[in-house]
Structure 1
Amino acid sequence: MRKGILSLTAVSAAAVLTLAACGDGEEGGGENEQGKIGVILPDTKSSVRYESFDRPYLEQAFKAAGVKYDIQNAEGSTQRFQTIADQMLTSGVTVLVVDGIDSNSAAAVQRKAQQQGVKTIDYDRLTLGGVSDYYVSFDNVKVGEELGKGLQKCLGDKNANIAYLNGAPTDNNATLFAQGAHSVLDKVTKYKKVAEQAVPEWDNQRAATIFEQMWTQQNGKIDGVLAANDGVGNSAISILKKNNQGGKVPVTGQDATVQGLQNILDGTQCMTVYKPVKQEADAAAKLALAVLKGQKAETNGTVDDPQGKRKVPSVLLTPIGVDKSNIKQVVDDGFVKKEELCAGPYADKCADAGIQ
């Protein structure tokens, strides 16, 4: 496994951006034109978060700062990702924030931006072999540690066979999640890994197929499932229910989706990892604005890019493990709406969890 976080010592980096003067014909001519921030989000399939949370939070921050910006979604297409980047660079973007679909396509975009003097920021996923100036994300090794600690809490001190359903092999975050989870669970001598497989493209249908094969191969002797996110976890839960084991085998998750939280309320999922997206979006916006204005960009750590053999100045945020005991926080933060989470049969279960 790659070592994800090399240090959490304070790191500061100054980024100076040459600002272009306003054209004579523009209103307010004579003042400095700040430039423009471009943001490319990866898809709408792997998680609902990008359009539901990241985009509006980033828009809110950029509007408040009064800067020009352009936010687009690549819809899971690396070709569209590169096309959007080309359009943004042509339109005069001076800071580019990218959440890559895979490292190869994202690195190509970053190199093209670098050639044009445009600073780039990796958002949520680190681009391996890229040339980003900064990286903003939750500490993804810690995300994995929360998954591992959550499953350990649910399994307790008993002999247990564990199956791992990891995220997409092309996603560096998935590698770090697995690294963090193993760092916790591999130390427990009563636990045994009996199956482990990555889920291509985080595809939930493929996750169900993979887990059903695991279940068959192990003759149903799986006591816990380390699933990398709520969608993958729900796929495992569907197979467990099919085999009359729903709620009997602990399953983890990540992203604190409505579905994942309802599974927790049902008792079919033991926990999820909550990453307050507003913190991440606000941190990325703050960093992008500093770079745009030629101000000092504050970071709090570095992340190792083993492929690029470099340390990337980073802003690293802390994830939160969520189970029934603190599920209320996700609603209180406005991350999910009570009306959605507590609809129909979940009204009483929400009340029992302290959600009023």
Structure 2
Amino acid sequence: MRIRARHGIAALVAGVLTLSLASCGGDAGVGTDSFTIGLLLPNRATPRWEKSDKPLIEKRLKELCPDCTVAYVNAEGDPTRQQHQITSMITKGVRVLILTPADSRALRSSVQEAHRAGVPVVAYDRLAEGPISGYVSFDGAQVGRLQGEALLKAMGDGADRGSVVMMNGDPTSFNAAWFRRGALSVLTDRVKIARSYNTQGWTTENAHANMSAAIAALGPDRIDGVLAANDSLAAGVISALKSAGVTDLPPVTGQDADLDAVQRMVKGEQYMTVYKPFAKEASAAAGMAVALGRGEDPRDSATTTIDSPTTKNVPSVLLTPTAVTADNIRQALVKDGVYTVDQICIPELRPACVKAGLTP
């Protein structure tokens, strides 16, 4: 994957802040037409899709185009189902699609089908193969680097001789490979990668099985840290360690700032997560989709371009992720309105929340 910046840092920030207006012709263009926008998310195994992305995208689309209709479906982790969903949406006359592919390669033919039908596709969070018209996500290499840097910090003085298990994402996902490369850019030559696994479907259950295999092969005392690509995988890793009788858990990374993960961080079970401000991502994708639905050029709102394996110079917006540990939950998540203290600090976590500085 090749990324080409079109503007400097200042332009990137400005582009994100003004995206919704720039992509939709400003307030004067809002509500002047009506069409249907298809929203296709990949699974329910990762909590963020249903709890954060779906409502945020739908809300922003309604703000930008009050007379537009949103048609929503979830693939339930099944690429074949998602192919049928795309075909159905095209048949029903959607004007533009926002797609998070369940399997980027498997969905290539469906993206081609949409292109032939004149229905532009905005790839959301995960890069899709085929002639997509735009891409909105976060810098995946930076996500991996943040995870790797946090893991080294947590491992402390023993990092340079420690053994790490890598729990990567689904092998069909470009993002999984992107995260892994970013993490390895930090970890290579610093730690020993004792085992590395791809986790089919990004599921907690498969991560649990992979981690159990790592524990059986290495022994729990020879695992000094785990680079888990997201919070669902971190949950599987931690449950496998507990099942093996490990009480002094090694540091475990994550991504997506799931509420369960934040609570695990408060309890000291998960060391960190990567917060990706979903509201900004949703706003950028909604703006690009409405612009495309109105026949406008997505390059007007893009801040960079990306080459996928099939398409060069895809107009893109890549946002900046943030590392979160127990020390900055309030600053990164509570102040940003992601969760309230009461949502995080359920009764059984009150003592831990006091220790973490979340409650007095």
Gapped runs of 5+ residues in structure 2?
16-22, 24-30
Shift >4 Å, 4+ stretches = 31-34
Q: Distance in 1 between matches of 2:240 and 2:81?
A: 35
Q: Distance in 2 between matches of 1:127 and 1:163?
A: 28
Q: How does 1:141-220 map to 2 (within 5 A)?
A: 141-158=141-158, 159-188=161-190, 191-220=191-220
Letter in structure 1 aligned against 2:102? I
Letter in structure 2 aligned against 1:53? S
Q: 1:243 to 1:68 in 2, by over 3 A?
A: closer
Gapped runs of 5+ residues in structure 1?
17-30
Letter in structure 1 aligned against 2:175? N
Q: 1:44 to 1:271 in 2, by over 3 A?
A: same
CA contact (8 A) 1:257 1:336 kept: no
CA shift at 1:68, angstroms? Answer: 2.6
CA contact (8 A) 1:169 1:199 kept: yes
Q: 1:309 to 1:59 in 2, by over 3 A?
A: closer
Of 329-338 and 163-172, more deviation after overlay is shown by 329-338
Letter in structure 1 aligned against 2:338? F
CA contact (8 A) 1:195 1:214 kept: yes
Letter in structure 1 aligned against 2:136? V
Q: How does 1:313-332 map to 2 (within 5 A)?
A: 313-328=315-330, 329-332=332-335
The TM-score with structure 1 as length reference comes to: 0.87
CA shift at 1:352, angstroms? Answer: 3.1
Matched, 1:278 2:274: no
CA-based RMSD of the aligned residues comes to 2.3
2:137 match: secondary structure: strand
The aligned counterpart of 2:87 is 86
| Match 1:334 to one of 330, 333, 337 | 337
Of 66-75 and 166-175, more deviation after overlay is shown by 66-75
Q: How many residues align?
A: 333
CA contact (8 A) 2:211 2:241 kept: no
CA shift at 1:183, angstroms? Answer: 0.6
Q: 1:35 to 1:156 in 2, by over 3 A?
A: same
Q: 1:333 to 1:246 in 2, by over 3 A?
A: farther
1:314 match: secondary structure: strand
CA shift at 1:198, angstroms? Answer: 0.6
CA contact (8 A) 2:61 2:287 kept: no
1:51 match: secondary structure: helix
Among the aligned pairs, what percent are the same residue? 35
For 1:284-324, what per-residue CA distance to the aligned partner results, in whole angstroms no more than 9, with x for missing partners? 0011112222334311112231x315232211011111001
Q: Distance in 2 between matches of 1:153 and 1:166?
A: 20
Matched, 1:7 2:4: yes
2:3 match: secondary structure: strand
Matched, 1:265 2:266: yes
For 1:115-158, what per-residue CA distance to the aligned partner results, in whole angstroms no more than 9, with x for missing partners? 11111111111013x11011001111111111111101101232
| Match 1:301 to one of 301, 304, 312 | 304
